[in-house]
Amino acid sequence: MLRRSALAATALVVTGALLLTACSGSPEPSASSDAAGTPDPDASVSIRLVLEPSNLDIRETAGAALDQILIDNVYQGLVARTPEQEIVPALASDYDVSPDGLTYTFTLREGVSFHDGQALTPQDVIWSLSQVKDNASYRDSARLAKVASITADGQKITITLSQPDSSFLWNLTGRAGLVLKEGDTIDRKTKTNGTGPFTLASWKQGDSITFERNDAYWGEKAKVAEVVFDYIPDTQAALNGALAHELDVLTGFDATLKDQVEADGDFSLELGASTDKGTLAMNATTGALADKRVRQAIRQAIDHDAIVEALGAGETLYGPIPELDPGYEDLSDVAPYDPDAAKALLKEAGVSDLSLTLTIYNGYPTTIPQILVSDLAEVGIELTVNSVEFPAWINDVYVNKDYELSFVLHTEARDFENWANPAYYFTYDNPEVQRLYTESLAATDEDQAADLLAQAARIVSEDMAADWLYNGASVLAVSDTVSGMPTVNVNERLDLAELTKSKE
């Protein structure tokens, strides 16, 4: 939603399914769904999603809604990432990184074609990456800023950096690394032309997007003939659709509805790990929130365990890096739940009768605001909830930074960069954090890079820059006829290559 597509990635993700592991009676997390039966290669699978993209131009349009369905399925890069965040070859059959971290050599696969039948060439790769690097309006353009040159010798593509960048390969697994056809004239707002296992069949705006299997795909063909993404923001409506057998999978689901969706035995609730971070941003530029003691008081007034319990699944989180990302450290010692300590901090800061406003996208459930209002009232803080449409949130909070508190579910993996960017809507500015982040990028050793991130993350938490209310789970309801449905990080990516549906 917010650098990279962070912004949209954040608030746009979910109405009822941002939750994760910790409740008794919850199913065990899994990487993908499993089902019995003989797969039907002619099957159509209907998947409920929450937020529909405004258009399909993945180069210039922010929003996790695009990454979620287009990357891996329609568009691909030289490398890809698994749901568990491992970097793997994609359009490149293999790759090599020089010891100094400056030279990346990829072997481009032969026999790959775009959906319109044109062959993939090394020049398409050079053009695609160069276009992103040279056009600041393209999402993630800055992620290729250290690229000094891109050359090809036959199927060998060499990318040289001006200085080491420990995030470079990771960046290539996202929008910055997608390979498009040079000279393509399609309208990317409504059409696509990628190399992936699915093609875009139709888009009924306000309703659904349909993919069809790409029978000319260079790799193993998709195992279903069709996937229909039904955009249904209301969780109860999605549940009704599942129970009526109109939907096969519900993403963005509510773990507290487990008994209802499993009642007839045709669906099961599936949980997977995620990098979703329920973040309470605090604008520290003015007013009482400029005092670190007030921000700490707010953090210590909030019962994270109660939030996880209320959501029906989840894990507590006390810092900006979730467990799936490099640099994670348990930071629960920094600002543990302690209402008495919160009251003492407010008294020490000379603050009484404090009133604050929480600005929140109205697509989110009311669970979080209700808990925040109650918890803060216990320590003498009156919280007013300002529930707004998403465009208003973008304008007021993200762009103009006109807010006191704001809640967003940040879904992107490895997005610590936002805490090293003073211009970001968090308004957080610490030169030491910026230095550590820069050093982590320059590190050529993965462990060293992760350690530098961990150091920076602890400083961010100790500065009381925000509160991280929970690490959300991927929560899905999956039909017993469906197998191979991703369950990890599904708010960010949905690689459907292994999806199957059995004959009924």
pLDDT digits (tens, 9 = 90+) for 155-166: 999 999 999 999
Which parts of 50-114 are beta strand (E)? 79-81, 87-89, 92-97, 103-108
* pLDDT-derived band at 34, boundaries 50, 70, 90: low
The vertex-503 CA angle with 500 and 504, nearest 5°, equals 125
Whole-Å CA distances, 195 to 142, 170, 422, 474 = 24, 20, 38, 27
Q: What does pLDDT average to over the chain?
A: 91
Joined together, the tokens standing for residue 95 give 């790759």
Alpha-carbon distance of 130 to 140, in angstroms, equals 12
Q: Any residues with CB less than 8 A from the CB of 279 and at least 6 apart, and which?
A: 10, 320, 407, 408, 409, 410, 466, 467, 468, 469
User: What pLDDT does residue 84 have?
Assistant: 81
Non-local (6+) Cβ contacts of 286 within 8 A are none
- Within 290-380, strands assigned E span 354-361
> Of 194, 253, 239, nearest to 70 (Cα)?
194
pLDDT value at 127 more than 90: yes
Q: Convert the pLDDT of each residue in 223-275 to its tens digit.
A: 999 999 999 999 999 999 999 999 999 999 999 999 999 999 999 999 999 99
Helix axes 292-301, 367-378, angle to 10 degrees: 110
| Confidence (pTM) | 0.84
Residues 6+ apart with CB under 8 A from 43: 224, 225, 226, 500, 501, 502, 503
Cα separation values, 119 from 109, 131, 195, 255, 356, Å: 11, 19, 9, 45, 58
Residue pair 366/286 in contact by the 8 Å Cβ criterion: no
So what's the pLDDT on residue 32? Answer: 58
> What pLDDT band is residue 31 in, cutting at 50, 70 and 90?
low
Residue 423 has pLDDT above 80, yes or no: yes
85 pLDDT tier (thresholds 50, 70, 90): confident
What 3-state DSSP class applies to 137? coil
Q: Three-state SS for 466?
A: strand
Per-residue pLDDT band for 18 (boundaries 50, 70, 90) equals: very low
Q: For residue 48, how many other CB atoms are within 10 A of its CB?
A: 27
Confidence band (pLDDT; 50, 70, 90) for 108? very high
Q: What is the pLDDT of residues 285-306, one digit of tens each?
A: 989 999 999 999 999 999 999 9
Identity at 339, one-letter amino acid code: P
* Strands 87-89 and 79-81, bridge-based pairing: antiparallel
Name the pLDDT band for 36 (thresholds 50, 70, 90).
low
- Contact partners, residue 143, CB within 8 Å, separation at least 6: 4, 167, 171, 174, 176
Eight-state DSSP code of residue 376: H
Residue 477 binned pLDDT confidence (cut-offs 50, 70, 90): very high
Neighbours of 332 (CB within 10 A): 14
Coil vs helix vs strand at 299: helix
Q: Which residues pair with 29 in a beta bridge?
A: 271
What's the CA gap between 214 and 117, in Å, rounded? Answer: 11
Q: ∠ CA(139), CA(155), CA(167), 5° rounding?
A: 35
CA 224 to chain CA centroid, nearest Å: 25
Please tell me the predicted confidence (pLDDT) of residue 33: 58
- Rounded distance, CA 313 to CA 335, Å? 22
Q: Work out the widest C-alpha separation in the chain, in whole angstroms.
A: 70
- Paired tokens of 493: 């990516």
Q: How confident is the model at residue 19 (pLDDT cuts 50, 70, 90)?
A: very low
- Residue 222 sits at the vertex; the CA angle it makes with 219 and 225, to the nearest 5 degrees, is 145
pLDDT given for residue 14 in this prediction: 34
Among 378, 423, 433, 381, which Cα is nearest to 405's?
A: 381
Give mean pLDDT, residues 421-438.
Answer: 97
Give the residue from 500, 422, 469, 132 showing the smallest Cα distance to 299: 469
- For 422: left if phi > 0, alpha if psi spans -120 to 50, otherwise beta; the answer is alpha
Q: What is the mean pLDDT of residues 308-317?
A: 93
Question: What is the rounded distance in angstroms from the CA atom of residue 486 to the CA atom of residue 457?
Answer: 29
